[in-house]
Amino acid sequence: MRSVPENVTPEQITAQVLASFDDAPQDRLREIMHSLVSHLHAFVRDVELTEAEWSGAIEALTATGHITDDRRQEFILWSDSLGVSMLVDALAHPVPSNATESTVLGPFYVANSPLRESGESIAEQAAGTPAWVHGRVLSLDGAPIAGAELDVWQNGDNRLYAVQDPDAPDDHLRGRFATDADGRFAFRAVRPVPYPIPDDGPVGRMLQATGRHPWRPAHIHIVARAPGHRNLTTHIFDADSDYLERDTVFAVKPGLVRTFQPRAADDPDRPAGVQEPWVSLELELVLAPGDPDGEPDGEIVDRGRTH
């Protein structure tokens, strides 16, 4: 008969699990698994996790799997609402940098938005106060980047992204725009509004149980891509929005907060087709250098459609 340890103490359990990864062939994977097990076991000890609490955690993870599909990504919502997404972002993009700051992608990105003409509207139906968004994309040295792509998406005044809204056309409030020879871009959007992250699943139950709110401040999402530069995944936040100081996913950076300038209906610069008061937003997006000969780097994962 083979021998098994007589008294399995908590310390021995942790040591056995750590040792089980000692022969993992990839150094990085071994490092990650050792650290994960060390911290996970330390956490269980620290809070003296009860069996009922352990069951509750398994139920929350199971519910997370059940509610996630190709239109809803509850795992990313956990990452966002626990600040992990922003921590990974901060480690990947250390400050200081003179490039425009990055922030979370969020769960509402949908790949292959329509390519639109400069100046075109991304709103395919009424969606709020018109917003004229224009500016330039520049390298760190201030040189304009011609042919950069801006992939933009946002919510409308019903608080919903098109992927959440069964009444909206698929391409509503999203589009891709190219910069001209001077690095300039322009598009018609609408003024975004604050909105709650999806809170009818396990993340919402965590927020409710811990007395947290689900709200995000108003913002427009932009992914900027240009050959020879790093992809920039960011938001532009409305300086007049509620929740700037208490974003539920911790994604506000002061450098990303901008004023949407109120403009009168009869302002001579008003964009074609706008009859009502509107707002304008001027932006300079500065991209960090990447591989000079390569494609824009950094993978953007299509996180599926959430509603």
Residues near ligand BEZ (CB under 6 A), total: 9
User: Residue 193 or 249: which CB sits closer to ligand BEZ?
Assistant: 249
CA distance 147 to 236: 21
Query: Which residue among 86, 104, 222, 244 contacts ligand BEZ (CB under 6 A)?
Result: 104
Amino acid letter, residue 100: T
Q: Would you count residue 238 as binding ligand BEZ (CB under 6 A)?
A: no
**Nearest-approach distance from CB 188 to ligand BEZ, in angstroms:** 20
Amino acid letter, residue 223: V
**Nearest-approach distance from CB 152 to ligand BEZ, in angstroms:** 12
**Tokens (6 digits) for 250:** 């911790």
DSSP letter for 96, please: P
Compose the 247-266 pattern: x for residues touching ligand BEZ by CB under 6 A, - for all others: --x-----------------
Tell me which residue has its CB nearest to ligand BEZ. Answer: 106
**Nearest-approach distance from CB 167 to ligand BEZ, in angstroms:** 19
Q: Would you count residue 80 as binding ligand BEZ (CB under 6 A)?
A: yes
User: Residue 172 or 216: which CB sits closer to ligand BEZ?
Assistant: 216
**Tokens (6 digits) for 231:** 């992809």
Q: Would you count residue 197 as binding ligand BEZ (CB under 6 A)?
A: yes
Stretch that binds Fe ion, among 38-46, 72-80, 102-110, 284-292 (CB under 5 A): 102-110
Cβ atoms < 10 Å from Cβ of 25: 6
Q: Which residues bind to Fe ion, rule: CB under 5 A?
A: 106
Q: Which residues bind to ligand BEZ, rule: CB under 6 A?
A: 77, 80, 104, 106-108, 197, 216, 249
